[in-house]
Amino acid sequence: MKKILLKILVLNFCVLCTFNVSARKQLPAGIPSIPSGIAGFELGEPVGKFASRLEMNQYFVGIEHPYLKAYRVLPFAGFRGGYVLVGACTGKEAVVRIKLKYKRYDKEFFKKLKRAIEKRFGKPSEYRGDPFHVYVAWKWRFKKSDGKIISMLLERYEGDDEEYSSGTSIKLTLVSELKREMECYRKKTKESASATGEPSNFKQYLPY
């Protein structure tokens, strides 16, 4: 009886070892389950850390996101460029978004890239493109152990609209810190925004 129990214990131990080995093969050493950067750029890091790869002498602030500053990424191997966004309100000057454009335009490259990303980080959480697949966008969303939220968007556009950049690009966003910058800006501009009001003449809304 003791010999039978011993054999069962040994068998269970071997099965457990096999399972652990298989699990390690599925998750290679050093591969993160949550993305934090790409091509040497990292979310949450000071923008000055990447000064040699950015056009630091000038940046732009968008109308829709006045709480962020965008620095253009200089082209490098495999990429046409892109931009890095940092907070412009809290004073941290930390990277909250990275968007890079790949040099390759072909659809096969996009498919291969998506498969590789899925293998590393799992299936996307939602589809954000149009139903005709002129603009294709897959989004991932992750929550870190410290509560911070990171989103990843893989997109491809092959239309003729000049408002969109053709080809394939990827965007990583530190959502929680971006929202922090937005709230900071809202608090600082709350009084000035309420004071502006609306124009007295409706014609001021119209082009001429």
Quote the mean pLDDT of the chain.
82
CB 97 within 8 A of CB 84: yes
> 20-36: string of b/e by CB count within 10 Å (b at 16+)?
eeeeeeeeeeeeeeebb
Q: What is the pLDDT of residues 170-201, one digit of tens each?
A: 999 999 999 999 999 998 887 565 556 677 78
Residue ranges of the chain with per-residue pLDDT less than 50: 1-32
The model's pTM is 0.77
